[in-house]
Structure 1
């Protein structure tokens, strides 16, 4: 499946919807969207990943980049992650730096 990352920024919240497979070839697409959000100095980054089918280590690197780029005051939500993505985030310890939820309530 083709990877897509679409974003919208409303006030101080950036939402990025991810679908497909996030791997080394597609991670730069997500990185560009994160950089756009960081440039707007948002206070919250919401990653809607219901349709994300796969995440390789390159995807984890972009999440780490996101945390570093946004700063410690920005909350990063991962919404609707499939079980294998949650397991990857937990095994790497990165889940502790994120807010993992099934649904996002503004």
Structure 2
């Protein structure tokens, strides 16, 4: 399956910004480069929340995990990362690596 990504940044009610990135397909080592470029693009807006819609993401390799870590480093430690409807294998991988404690897994972005 191929990989598709799109993003947008909107103003939040509290005056901050919310970046939303929709991920679809398989996030492997090649597509992780596209994911990182998208993170770099939205980082220029200094969002307070990063919402990753993962409902249609079927696979995430370790390269995708590295990009999650990169997003905190690039945007800042105060960044809130929300994973919307990730598949169970992705949640299991996040749990095994300890990254699950750095993100919020939700069915819908609470903002």
Deviation at residue 105 of structure 1 after TM alignment: 3.0
2:60 is aligned with 1:55: yes
1-side partners of 2:32 and 2:84: how far apart? 18
1-side partners of 2:51 and 2:94: how far apart? 16
2-side partners of 1:32 and 1:79: how far apart? 20
Q: Secondary structure at the match of 2:39?
A: helix
1-side partners of 2:91 and 2:98: how far apart? 11
Unaligned runs of 5+ in 1: none
1-side partners of 2:83 and 2:110: how far apart? 12
2-side partners of 1:105 and 1:96: how far apart? 18
Question: Which residue of structure 1 lines up, in the alignment, with residue 14 of structure 2?
Answer: none
1-side partners of 2:110 and 2:4: how far apart? 23
Question: Which residue of structure 1 lines up, in the alignment, with residue 18 of structure 2?
Answer: 13
Q: How does 1:16-27 map to 2 (within 5 A)?
A: 16-27=21-32
Question: Which residue of structure 2 lines up, in the alignment, with residue 4 of structure 1?
Answer: 4
Question: Which residue of structure 2 lines up, in the alignment, with residue 73 of structure 1?
Answer: 78
Deviation at residue 70 of structure 1 after TM alignment: 1.3
**RMSD over aligned Cα atoms:** 0.8
Runs of 4+ more than 4 Å apart? none
How many residues are matched?
106
